[in-house]
Structures are given as structure tokens and as C-alpha cells.
């Protein structure tokens, strides 16, 4: 039961935005991988850096809200303006992509401070959390 809860929380780590959830997943990660104090300190620093990067970026929703007039115009104007739709879509997807790159960088940094045994556990945790996306 406890392992299942830990895996769910680690799954959130893969997909979670920065903020309060990041602290919850940090605790689960520390518990699940049995990190030593040096690793805990490094991982906490990585999470802190990640949170700062994410805080400096708007969310995809923020970008969409900033462009709601353009989105409304694309939806309500005839004929459909594919160029304008692509511009708005690219702006939204660009910010979502950067936020995902930051998440993946965090996961890589964490992976690099793990022992080979912990790396194998982490790979299994990531695999199991990604299976739910199929």
C-alpha cells in the first residue's frame, strides 16, 4: 500500500508543475529511493532551481489568456485564418515545451546524483508512471 502511494506521488513528479506539489514529490522521492543526506541536499537544490525557472515562465494557460482576443478572432472570423491560428498555437506550445524541458532537466539532474542501484529504481518508477499515459 505504501509503495503504491509512493509510486503515485512519483508519477506526479513526472508531470507536476512547480509549486506546492514539487515539495510533496520531493518527500516521496526521498522516501522511495532512500536518499542519503548529501543526495537530499542536492535534490532539494535542484528542485529550488527548477521552481525558480518555472516561476519566471508563464503557463500555457497564461499565454492563451494573453492571446484570447486573437483566439476569439480565429474562431469567429470567416474564412478561417490558418496563419493566425498557427501563430497563437505556436506561442502557447512554445511555453509549454519550455516548461517541459525544465521538468526533464530536473529529472536528469536527479538521476545523475543517484547510485547505480537508485538509478535502476528511478528508471522503474518513471516507467511505471509513464505506463499510465498509454
Note the pTM of the prediction, 2 decimals.
0.71
Question: Is residue 94 over pLDDT 80?
Answer: yes
Domain ranges of the chain: 2-131
pLDDT digits (tens, 9 = 90+) for 97-132: 999 999 999 999 999 999 999 999 999 888 887 886
User: For residue 83, what pLDDT band results from cuts at 50, 70 and 90?
Assistant: very high
Whole-number percent of the chain with pLDDT over 90: 56
Is pLDDT of 21 > 70? Answer: no
Closest listed residue to residue 22, CA positions, set 13, 32, 35: 13
C-alpha cell belonging to residue 42: 542536492
Is a pLDDT exceeding 60 seen at residue 89?
Answer: yes
Mean pLDDT of the chain, nearest integer: 81
Count each helix (H run) and each strand (E run) in the chain, helices first: 7, 0
Q: What is the C-alpha separation between 1 and 21, in angstroms, rounded?
A: 21
Per residue in 44-60, pLDDT tens?
A: 999 999 999 999 999 88
The listed CATH number (1.20.120, 1.10.3470, 1.10.8, 1.10.10) that belongs to domain 2-131: 1.20.120
Cell of 57: 515562465
Amino acid at each position: 500500500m505504501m509503495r503504491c502511494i509512493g509510486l503515485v506521488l512519483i508519477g506526479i513528479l513526472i508531470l507536476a508543475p512547480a509549486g506546492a506539489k514539487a515539495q510533496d514529490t520531493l518527500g516521496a522521492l526521498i522516501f522511495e529511493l532512500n536518499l542519503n543526506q548529501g543526495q537530499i541536499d542536492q535534490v532539494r537544490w535542484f528542485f529550488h532551481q527548477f521552481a525558480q525557472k518555472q516561476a519566471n515562465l508563464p503557463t500555457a494557460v497564461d499565454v492563451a489568456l494573453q492571446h484570447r482576443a486573437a483566439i476569439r478572432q480565429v474562431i469567429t472570423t470567416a474564412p478561417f485564418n490558418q496563419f493566425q491560428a498557427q501563430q497563437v498555437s505556436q506561442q502557447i506550445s512554445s511555453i509549454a515545451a519550455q516548461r517541459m524541458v525544465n521538468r526533464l532537466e530536473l529529472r536528469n539532474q536527479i538521476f545523475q546524483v543517484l547510485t547505480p542501484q537508485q538509478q535502476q529504481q528511478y528508471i522503474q518508477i518513471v516507467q511505471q508512471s509513464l505506463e499510465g499515459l498509454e
